[in-house]
Amino acid sequence: MTGGILKAPASHAEAGPRPAGDVARLPVLDVRELTIGFHTEGGRVDVVRDVSFSIAEHETVALVGESGCGKSVTALSLARLIPSPPVSYPSGAIRFRGVDTLAMTRRELRTLRGSGIGYVFQDPATALNPVFRVGFQLEELLQGGRRQRREQAAALLERVGLPSPLACLDAYPFELSGGMQQRVVIAMAVARRPGLLVADEPTTALDVTIQAQILALLKRLQQEFGMAVLLITHNLGLVAEAAHRVNVMYAGMLVEGGEAETVLTRPAHPYTRGLLDVVPRLETSGGRLIGIPGAVPVAGRLPPGCPFAARCQRADAHCRATVPGVDAVPGGAEHRVRCFHPLREREAL
């Protein structure tokens, strides 16, 4: 079964329908009140704080936020890929199909990494071993006889849209362009049909036509075997097209979450609103893009109150003194925000 869909002209891969009643089912991934710290010379620095989210079968949940806010650290922690020390988990739980990964033995973790959670790392070059041919690295993940594995590997490469799969199998990673490497990494991540695919900026090295192909492929795999997807991206256009739900992270905390459509059309947190306002559009030419003024506070030097206060036009004394808790946004199903003065519908900043 080689993906016939990939031969279709590039089209928008909008998020597919979710089976009804999925909310009640056991989520594939459930992260509860998770805090992640790094041990540094100056003591423990918590780069992720009190984060909760879940992903069900067939579902794509996006995680967005400014560079350095903790997205990759969160992603890598799911299968405990950062050695501890330096990393530690002072509180919270990560459950994969109901089992707490923070309590897993080494052996259980190996199984989890092998076939439970597949990763597309942010940096494709580091995910590939430079001294082995692509074919060897991909075939190693597959089962069956040599011939069979080779055929499967070629089929996978075709599905991720590589023009000449057989030549690619024989190539060393450095002989491929950045985008070609990225697609090999994606093929490797889905080779074992993982229950959860963690895709950290999976399409940043790809042009838009290939990007659409990859999104279509992920959607197809979700339909085939119910794969859950955590999509880490800074591209809100991608979120709109591919994600069912979205979580917005700021300085290590989730500041807003909900159905993608709700969050993108009626953002409640001033930061989310700012992100939506800075997206460069194709219609934008010349002039100057307006960013969100100021910078993210550095982990370990966080202000006492709301982490966004220094950049927020709505901040008052209360915001600067107290960290806001998570509240439901009226009117939005499961729409949550961490802000004392959330925006109402279509309200200006």
Partner 1 sequence: MSADDRLLDVRDVTVAYPGRHGRDGVRAVNGVSLHIAPGEVVGLVGESGCGKTSLGGAVMGMLPLAGGEISFQGERVDRENRTWMREYRRRVQMVFQDPMGALNPRLTAGAALEETLYVHRTQPGLETAPGRRARRQELMAQVGMDDAVMGARYPHELSGGQRQRIGIARALAVGPRLLVADEPVSALDVSVQVQILNLLKDISEQLGVACLFIAHDLAVVRYMCRRTYVMVGGAIVEEGLSDTLFAHPAHPYTATLIAAVPDVARGLAARSR
Ligand X SMILES: Nc1ncnc2c1ncn2[C@@H]1O[C@H](COP(=O)(O)OP(=O)(O)OP(=O)(O)O)[C@@H](O)[C@H]1O
Query: Which part of the chain contacts ligand X (CB under 6 A), choosing from 2-10, 178-186, 214-222, 304-312?
Result: 178-186
Contact flag: residue 304 with ligand X (CB under 6 A): no
The residue among 128, 129, 132, 180 whose CA lies nearest residue 158 is: 180
Q: Residues 324-340, buried b or exposed e (16+ Cβ, 10 A)?
A: beeeebeebeebbbbbb
Positive or negative, the CA dihedral 262, 325, 56, 137 is positive
User: Which of residues 38, 96, 119, 271 is near ligand X by CB under 6 A?
Assistant: 38
> Between 178-190 and 146-159, two packed helices, what is the crossing angle to 10 degrees?
120
Distances (CA, A) of 34 to 26, 55, 232, 260, 306: 19, 15, 18, 22, 18
Contact flag: residue 294 with Mg ion (CB under 5 A): no
CA distance between the termini of the chain: 51
Question: Of the two residues 77 and 247, which places its CB atom closer to ligand SF4 in the complex?
Answer: 247
Tell which phi-psi region holds residue 100, choosing left (phi > 0), alpha (psi between -120 and 50) or beta: beta
The secondary structure of the chain in percent helix, strand, coil, rounded to multiples of 5, reads 35, 20, 45
- CB-based contacts of 246, cutoff 8 Å, min separation 6: 61, 62, 63, 64, 239, 257, 258, 259, 260, 263, 264
Contact flag: residue 35 with ligand X (CB under 6 A): no
Least distance in Å: CB of 277 to ligand SF4? 15
Other CB atoms within 10 Å distance of the CB of residue 222: 20
User: Which of residues 35, 60, 72, 247 is near ligand X by CB under 6 A?
Assistant: 72
Q: CB under 5 to 8 A by kind: which of Mg ion, ligand SF4, partner 1, none does 328 bind?
A: none
Encoded tokens for 49:
């704080």
Contact flag: residue 114 with ligand X (CB under 6 A): no
User: Which of residues 92, 179, 257, 297 is near ligand X by CB under 6 A?
Assistant: 179
Contact flag: residue 121 with ligand X (CB under 6 A): no
Question: Of the two residues 183 and 266, which places its CB atom closer to ligand SF4 in the complex?
Answer: 266
User: Which of residues 69, 117, 199, 227 is near ligand X by CB under 6 A?
Assistant: 69
Q: Which residues bind ligand SF4 (CB under 6 A)?
A: 270, 306, 308-309, 312, 314-315, 319, 324, 339-341
Encoded tokens for 251:
């300085």
Contact pattern for Mg ion over residues 167 through 206, marking x by CB under 5 A: ----------xx----------------------------
Question: Of the two residues 20 and 290, which places its CB atom closer to partner 1 in the complex?
Answer: 290
Residues that bind ligand X (CB under 6 A): 38, 40, 47, 65, 67-73, 86, 122, 174-180, 299
Q: Which stretches of the chain bind Mg ion, using CB under 5 A? A: 72, 122, 177-178
